[in-house]
Amino acid sequence: MIFQQLVNDEAGCLSYLIGCGRAGVAMIVDPGRDRVGDYVALARRKGLTITHVVDTHVHADHVSGNQALAAQTGATVYIHAAAEAKYRHLPVEDGNELRVGTVSLRVLHTPGHTPDSIALLVTDDSRGPEPWFVLTGDTLFVGDVGRPDFGGERAAAELYRSLTGRLLVLDDSVEVYPAHGAGSMCGRAMSSKTGSTIGFERRFNPALRARDEEEFVRNLLAGLLPTPPNFKAIIERNRSVAVLTRPAPQALPPRGVRELIDEGAVVLDVRTSAEYGEGHVPGAVNVSIESPQFVERCGWFIPPDAVIVLVAASPTDPGRALTGLSRVGLDGVTGYLQRGMTDWRGEGLPTEQLAQISVHDLATWREEQPDLVVVDVREPFEWDEGHIAGALHLPMREAVTRRGEVPADRPKAVLCAGGLRSSTVISVLKRSGARGPWYNVSGGMTAWLKAGYAVVR
């Protein structure tokens, strides 16, 4: 057996190649749309032909590459019947067996995260009759379990029964490989480790410590993070027949961009927060392309059907952004601003600025300006580890829905861990009509702590 895990560090997505060197065939499990070329190239390097493509469920955080991969390779797509997929595929049910040469994969139906969730119990017949590992999809993670976003208590109860009746009955030595790891929105406390064993998870996974179904459901639903607004749109994309070709974005002159903005286009500025601060197109959303979870942040704040115009600093950034955005179904990239902000300013078109202040400025202003509001946009666990006394906690993903809590008539200094998320939040709040003045704290809490300023824990 040939086995390789493919990690998308930015999104926390995990895909798998399982092949048989003797038969020269391979299966790809949970392919991402933006990595199709990588799967084909990897199989070719190993002398394998991709014959099977399997999704462990209808994904909500990224667009699947199953149809594109099948179109390139002629492989058959497999997904559980409950997925209600509208594209060409073969449905699988609990107990079905898929074979790749000497490798057998038994389908375990594990509803809970989604009704169609499956796990694949893998046995290498050339090695022995005992299962070697299980691909758990989004049912069991390393250090966590799947979130029951769309089914509430019923789905949480199903997840408990799937875990206890399908996965935790396996031998302790069976290895565990999930569909997501740290950085994904599909769980709450996933480990950065991308593999485990049934025995280790049974002993150390906090989500599996519940004494019964009732306690498991109660714990799982407590403090569940907000569901990303684009999840339902991505699910629908993953059930539908895919559009496999997209027009390439064009370099657009400033006046052309202005016309698109007047028609409702969203400007996505992928430069750094400092570059954005020096001058940007009014109303532009700032998500630096170097941000962790760049694509997920874009998916959170940009409507899935939006027409998008990019503003970039490097000539390679529009291509990078386009590839990433396709993963979350943001296919409306019409073009990018030719020669960036240089030409925009040259045409005399309006610009806005966002002041960048240091943590030393912030410390001084807190003493001299009693009306200053410090807004902390980090996650709850970051806030608990240490925050500035008197700060308003407004986690990034809740910023727009809770914007009414931000005082409109006072200056606001916004910070995160390093200064990227805070710039994004300010940009989306400004776009939604929230009034300033706004200040982005460069270096964020990392710089605040390094400078020795006090925090509350």
pLDDT value of position 188 = 60
Mention the CATH class of domain 2-235. alpha beta
From CA 246, how far away is CA 18, in angstroms rounded? 30
pLDDT value of position 176 = 98
Q: What pLDDT band is residue 317 in, cutting at 50, 70 and 90?
A: very high
pLDDT value of position 8 = 85
Residue 335 in this model has a pLDDT that exceeds 80: yes
Contact 446, 419 (CB under 8 A): no
Mean pLDDT confidence for 56-85:
96
From CA 397, how far away is CA 390, in angstroms rounded? 21
Residue 185 in this model has a pLDDT that exceeds 70: no
> How would DSSP label each residue in 78-139?
EEEGGG---SS-EEE-TT-EEEETTEEEEEEE--SSSTT-EEEEEEETTT-SS--EEEEETT
pLDDT value of position 246 = 75
Task: Tell me the pTM.
Answer: 0.87
Nearest to 140 by CA among 96, 211, 97, 200: 200
Burial class (CB in 10 A: 0-12, 13-18, 19+), 52: buried
pLDDT value of position 149 = 72
C-alpha dihedral over 355, 359, 364, 368, to 10 degrees? 50
Share of the chain above pLDDT 90, in %: 85
Which of 230-244, 256-270, 358-372 has the least mean pLDDT? 230-244
pLDDT value of position 434 = 93
Ramachandran assignment for 343, one of left (phi > 0), alpha (psi -120 to 50 degrees), beta (any other): alpha
CATH architecture for the domain at 355-450: 3-Layer(aba) Sandwich (3.40)
Mean pLDDT confidence for 286-311:
94
Residue 266 in this model has a pLDDT that exceeds 90: yes
Residue 186 in this model has a pLDDT that exceeds 90: no
Structure confidence by residue, pLDDT tens digits, 376-432: 999 999 999 999 999 999 999 999 999 999 999 899 999 999 999 999 999 999 999
- Bridging pattern class, strands 438-441 and 355-357: parallel
Mean pLDDT confidence for 275-294:
95
Q: What is the rounded average pLDDT for all residues in the chain?
A: 94
In the Cβ-directed half-sphere of 32, how many Cα atoms lie within 13 Å? 25
225 DSSP 8-state letter: P
Q: What is the 3-state secondary structure (H, E, C) of 64-91?
A: ECHHHHHHHHCCEEEEEHHHCCCCCCEE
Q: What is the CATH number of domain 250-346?
A: 3.40.250.10
Q: Is 380 helix (H, G, I), strand (E, B) or coil?
A: helix
Same CATH fold, 355-450 and 2-235?
no
Mean pLDDT confidence for 13-19:
96
From CA 397, how far away is CA 188, in angstroms rounded? 14
315 DSSP 8-state letter: T
pLDDT value of position 190 = 64
Residue 187 in this model has a pLDDT that exceeds 70: no
Backbone angles phi, psi at 288, to 5 degrees: -60, 135
pLDDT value of position 102 = 96
Residue 31 in this model has a pLDDT that exceeds 80: yes
Domain ranges of the chain: 2-235, 250-346, 355-450
Backbone angles phi, psi at 216, to 5 degrees: -60, -50
